[in-house]
Chain A
């Protein structure tokens, strides 16, 4: 796996996402309350761009008529057929075992530690940067 410095962490605010291309792969980055997650930007169903999808909460239920609501904004819905995917894992909500979108490790690191690895833009040592491994 190669590590890619995507950009300053402050450029993708909480609740926002950004599509990036790394090694020819389209990747969508999500900021969930300061934590970053990276998914392949291609729905496993018919290839739509998940970065164009809306976000929603995890809605689940133990019993008909009861609605659980948690983790607001942590599910992305494909813009074409509205399949739900968990941003943290890439697993679909309707069949998490068999239907999932590929997830890649993402993290935030200090510019200081990354100076030699930034490929396309200057990295300042004071800032935090989003790093994705693909």
Chain B
């Protein structure tokens, strides 16, 4: 289908082709350790590079690494589909290692790689600051280091993280995000601190991938009940590659529980459904509803807001074939909101036409 003019793709994943690609961005002490330790790379098992799901078949080059250059992104998504802005979020697992200093050093390098290899190469691109969450002080410092560059429009953590995300030891991170108008993106994937399901390790890929949904539910429940949105009412959270259709039923259940044990979380003075409508956004890939307009309309009614969904391709992950996809039966007005307006409202730092210049003012002569 044809995307509206000005479409913003909020979920693009450049892939670090090889650990050596980060070497120029590493401080010498960490750069040397690639050789000294014999490090091979930080590809995460959430997205094994050779797995069919990780890279759509026609986006995998005959030779060389997939999704590794801005040229590939231009040819495969930005140019043919007329994307006005894309937000790139690398999922290379540098932030997952248990050595917090090493994780911090390599995550800083990854963010600088993103800045130079992607943001500097195409003005349509914005990026996520990948956060080294093992140590919240490191995460705050990385926000402060990257935030002056307005092309970083959000920060990103994986949905299955160190601890339930809403806990108070993470609040300095949320405070820093709010200070800089940065939404918090929560992307599918695990840090592997725990099995990817609460009942233990699954056997199959299908189990593993769908387990992200449990992770998103538990993470949302944590953020809401811990009072993160009471303490930081302007914080926006963007769920990436989360799926969508599970959200209403999950919120019905959480709200039902809250009505009975409200006294446990007396700071939560609104129903979780209201909190989510105001503070949470979701990308549309994978859109996990049956492919018929009537069902999709019912889901939209259950969501109860036309401001929550953001368009994404999830490039290079294999979510659909051929031309860009949208759920069936949406009105042109809603398509425009999902593709353009909702992202413009969510990403205050995104330099879109019509907004007062978001970027650093030009130096006056």
Contact = CB atoms under 8 A, between A and B. Distances in A.
A68 B266 contact: yes
Contact of A67 (B168, B260, B266): B266
A66 B230 CA distance: 12
B226 interface: yes
B17 to A, nearest CB: 43
B267 interface: yes
A64 B267 contact: yes
B56 interface: no
Contact of A82 (B168, B231, B261): B261
Contact of B263 (A56, A81, A95): A56
Contacts of A56: 263
A53 to B, nearest CB: 12
Contacts of B261: 82
A63 B230 contact: yes
A83 B256 CA distance: 10
B168 A93 contact: no
Given A61-B267, A64-B267, 17 more contacts: A56-B263, A61-B266, A62-B267, A63-B230, A64-B168, A64-B226, A64-B227, A64-B228, A65-B168, A65-B227, A68-B266, A81-B256, A82-B260, A82-B261, A94-B258, A94-B262, A94-B271
Contacts of B266: 59-61, 67-68
Contacts of A60: 266
Contacts of B226: 64
A86 interface: no
B346 to A, nearest CB: 24
B35 interface: no
Interface in A47-85: 56, 59-68, 81-84
Nearest to B230: A64
A134 to B, nearest CB: 28
A47 B203 CA distance: 46
Interface in B251-279: 256, 258-263, 265-267, 271
Contacts of B168: 64-65
Nearest to B259: A94
* Best-surrounded residue of B230, B231, B256, B262 (most CB of chain A within 10 A): B262
A65 B230 CA distance: 11
B231 A83 contact: no
Interface string B220-235: 0000001110110000
B267 A81 contact: no
A61 B225 CA distance: 13
Contacts of A64: 168, 226-228, 230-231, 265, 267
Contacts of B228: 64
Contacts of B271: 94-95
Contact of A83 (B227, B230, B259, B265): B259
A80 to B, nearest CB: 9
B164 to A, nearest CB: 14
Contact of B267 (A63, A82, A84, A94): A63
A68 B227 CA distance: 15
B263 A59 contact: yes
B260 to A, nearest CB: 4
